[in-house]
Structure 1
Amino acid sequence: MHSENIVKLFTAENPAALIDRSELTECVALLAKLCSSKQPIRFASEPGGVALTAMNGDIQAETSIAADVDARFSAALPAAALLKLMKKGTPSSTAILELLSDEVDPNAERLVANKCAIQLAETRFVLDATPTDVFPEPIRHVEGSKVQRFSIASAVLWNAIDGTIDAVSTDQTRYYLNGVYLHSHNGRLRFATTDGHRLYIQDTNVQTGKVEVGAILPTEGAKFVASLLDGHASADPVKVEISSSVAVFVFRDVAVTLKLIDGTFPDYPRVIPADPDKSATIAGGALSARVASLVECTGAATVYLKFSGQQLVIKATGPSGDGMTGMECAYQGEEMEIAFDARYLRSAIEAASPDGRSMRMRMADPLSPALVTGSVGGWTGVLMPTKP
């Protein structure tokens, strides 16, 4: 499609762009996940198309789309309204975007748009537009900073974020715990999170070699990356760039840039028990269901697990009364009772064995952390017990 055949379709001399409707809808849908209802997406012409950018605090997403476009085309359009229009507007194969201004200054070097007309087939819509001058400065690596680059399979990245994000701390006084710690461990990439009550670790097969990787991804940024991967995770690699202040993830033709948390993640390996001598193998789905039932019926926040032989007894006491149930388990060690926060226990079970199958708990005594593993390869949970 050549621009000389397109300009005749434009209704004015204003900056305009003709874009494939389905491609525009897909790009806007991706970026709109980052924006609140009134936040805009920035459109700017580039050779052969339009660059789209969305920002929300310390998170930035960028993509490009092929288009026949005027070099002067530059404006920020409301994400939610634009997405609704692209999905619900009059059926058409293309969309023509034309920038408009209430005030026309013939001496001005460029048009300062406050409206954008959108032509879908025979229907014309007009949305509010914001000049890109007020759009935040893009997030970039600091000039001259050392940038480490590597690739990770999208399925591996999604699994690592999804399997650890639940243990991120929300305590603002310990801001360095408010994210996912991505770092080198024994020459491979590891993800870790902790809120002081539990520690979740996901090891990967991504080799870092002699390069020391270390970055704390902010919680919302990590969740946004996972949301774009969810349902699209495959063996296709995600390209990653990490510097001292910024991390960039490139996949699905989108570049997601995050400002890193400026802090030092704690020396978490010291809380991992070396070799607990008691071990229980349990059906994770059945245990989670029993804990949920007891909590629902009693209102208890804490559950007690009593291991003895091939039997696990689960007890809870709350405002609504007492409850007790049991189930089979393969247990090795002396009889022992240990208490856990019910919510943290269920979280660890679901992270270890999302399929509900076998999981393993290794324990030393009622006051020491328990190690939890399951069907997810490379995942380890450390769960602090509640004092009896």
Structure 2
Amino acid sequence: MQSDNIVQLFTSGNPSALIERTELTECTALLAKLCSGKQSMPILNHIRFASEQGGVALTATNLDIQAETSIAADVDARFSAALPAAALLKLMKKGTTSTTTILELLADEADPDADRIVASKCAIQLASTRFVLDAMPTDDFPDLIRHAEGDKVHRFSIGSAILWNAIDGTVDAASTEPTRYYLNGVYIHTHNSHLRFVSTDGHRLYIQETNIQTGKHEIGAILPTEAAKFVANLLDGYAGADPVKVEISKGVAVFIFRDVAVTAKLIDGTFPDYQRVIPAEPDKTATIAGGDLSARVASLVECTGATTVHLKFGGEQLVINASGASGAGTTGMDCDYRGEELEIAFDAGYLRSAIEAASPDGRNMRIRMADALSPAIVTGSIGGWSGVLMPTKA
């Protein structure tokens, strides 16, 4: 007996594939993230479906990023169709797990010389309700992003949790200024024979070290912010060590995780020598509870409308001051501070971002400083993570 959670695809009235509905919904939800509905080319708002040996291949792209996946299916006819992502996802989510969903791919006229049937419409039936979506010709679908012929490709594997942590811990510091396009992403490169992830916007610098050895390969690639976040979203929730296969060439990066391959164009530019802004050995160190500090800064900013906060370190106390359009506020908290008294000011948003990146669990973090005008080094409970935060003028 056919399961109620099976999607049945038909071509010209003949069954061509049977697909598990939950898996199809999940894959559609992932690929639809690349189809914003605001693309200048209508085909980019569609997901390409194509039958293959033992299943159906799904592909979506926004020209800079593409995602490909396959779903196991019983296929007995060759077909292809580009279906509108948003409408398809909305309809797939309408049914319950106890509702049989039927997708019927219809061709205007079958071409006996074609190697597959190209559908022009897709009928979707949920219980007693039937919807018909217009499909686009798959010939309009853009060429897939691939490594350029002759380019050297570096291949390695990295644990999914390690990769997610590296991207999530650095991408927020990437610049959004289009004139500094070479900072609009995460710099993945070799440092001391290991893989390192870095991003900066000129006001803050986030670094995540990894234990992934690159051997003799010298890797250097700037992964655009949008692509980095898409990969992180794919990996989010997988806390295990499931490997991600990575391929990096001069202009393209590929991330293969389970049954999904994400391919992205890299930024064509040179990442600056960021190590010049990292202070050598600041002589003042404050150890403080990250969660408490973040909450106090957030409260002051919310009540005062301040954009800058002043931190005054001395002995075992930290005094935090802020003033803005709505008034001024002061609060204090315990702090293990070593060094001469120091008052230093930071942009409130950048400070909170650094705190959350260094100590997302709220545990102790460390701020090392030289003086009120020099960059501060921030570290926390995330192994291998460090940040450099530029102070503002008091």
Normalised by the size of structure 2, how large is the TM-score?
0.91
8 Å CA contact 2:9–2:16 kept in 1: the answer is: no
Pick the aligned partner of 1:50 from 43, 56, 66. 56
Counterpart of 1:28?
Answer: 28
* Matched position secondary structure for 1:175: helix
1:267 aligns with 2:267: no
- What's the offset of the Cα at 1:311? 1.1
Change over 3 Å in CA distance of 1:91–1:367 after alignment to 2: closer
**Hey, what does 2:300 align to over in structure 1?**
294
Q: Deviations over 1:246-295 (max 9, x none)?
A: 00000131000010000010100110000000001011111111111111
Distance 1:334 1:257 in 2: 51
- Whether 1:129 aligns to 2:135 is yes
**Whole-angstrom CA distance in 2 between matches of 1:106 and 1:221:** 39
Would you say the 8 A contact 1:165–1:219 is kept in 2?
yes
Aligned to 1:40: 46
Measured in 1, the distance between the counterparts of 2:257 and 2:156 equals: 13
Task: Deviation per CA, 1:164-211: give whole Å up to 9, x if none.
Answer: 111010010010000000111111111000000000000011111221
Label 1:263 to 1:208 Cα distance change in 2 as closer, same or farther (>3 A).
Answer: same
Cα distance in 2 for residues equivalent to 1:291 and 1:20: 49
Q: Is the 8 A contact 1:367 1:385 kept in 2?
A: yes
- Asked if structure 1 preserves the Cα contact closer than 8 Å seen for 2:10 and 2:105, the reply is no
Q: Which moved more, 1:185-194 or 1:103-112?
A: 103-112
> Are 2:293 and 1:322 aligned?
no
The letter for the 2-side match of 1:104 is E
Of 14-23 and 159-168, the range deviating more from structure 2: 14-23
Given candidates 356, 371, 388, the residue that maps to 2:377 is 371
Shift of 1:11: 7.9
Instruction: Quote the residue 2:155 is aligned against.
Output: 149
Unaligned runs of 5+ in 2: 2-7, 39-44
Aligned partners of 1:370, 1:16: CA distance in 2, in Å?
62
1:332-359 deviations in whole A, cap 9, x for unaligned?
1111111100110010011000111100
Secondary structure of 1:355's aligned partner: coil
Give the whole-Å Cα distance in 2 for the aligned partners of 1:105 and 1:253.
31
- In structure 1, the residue matched to 2:4 is none
For 1:322 and 1:19, locate their aligned partners in 2 and report how far apart those are by CA, in whole Å.
Answer: 61
Note the aligned Cα RMSD (angstroms): 2.3
In the alignment, what sits opposite 1:351? 357
Match of 1:232 in 2: 238
Report what 2:65 is aligned to.
59
Separation in structure 2 between the aligned mates of residue 165 and residue 140 of structure 1, nearest angstrom: 24
Residue 100 of structure 1 corresponds to which residue in structure 2?
106
Question: Which stretch shows the higher mean deviation, 12-21 or 129-138?
Answer: 12-21
Counterpart of 2:73 in 1: which secondary structure? strand
- 2:339 maps to 1:333: yes
Q: Residue 114 of structure 1: CA displacement?
A: 2.2
Contact kept in structure 1, 2:145 and 2:263, CA below 8 Å:
yes
Question: Aligned partners of 2:190 and 2:223: how far apart in 1?
Answer: 14
Deviations 1:281-333 (A, max 9, x none): 01111111111111111111111111111111111121122211111101111
- 2:64 corresponds to 1:69: no
Identity %: 78
Q: Does 1:360 align with 2:366?
A: yes
Number of aligned residue pairs: give it: 381
Contact 1:182 1:191 in 2 (8 A): yes
CA distance in 2: counterparts of 1:9 and 1:199, whole angstroms: 50
User: CA 1:93–1:362 in structure 2 vs 1: closer, same or farther (change >3 Å)?
Assistant: same
Conserved? CA contact 2:290–2:364, under 8 Å: yes
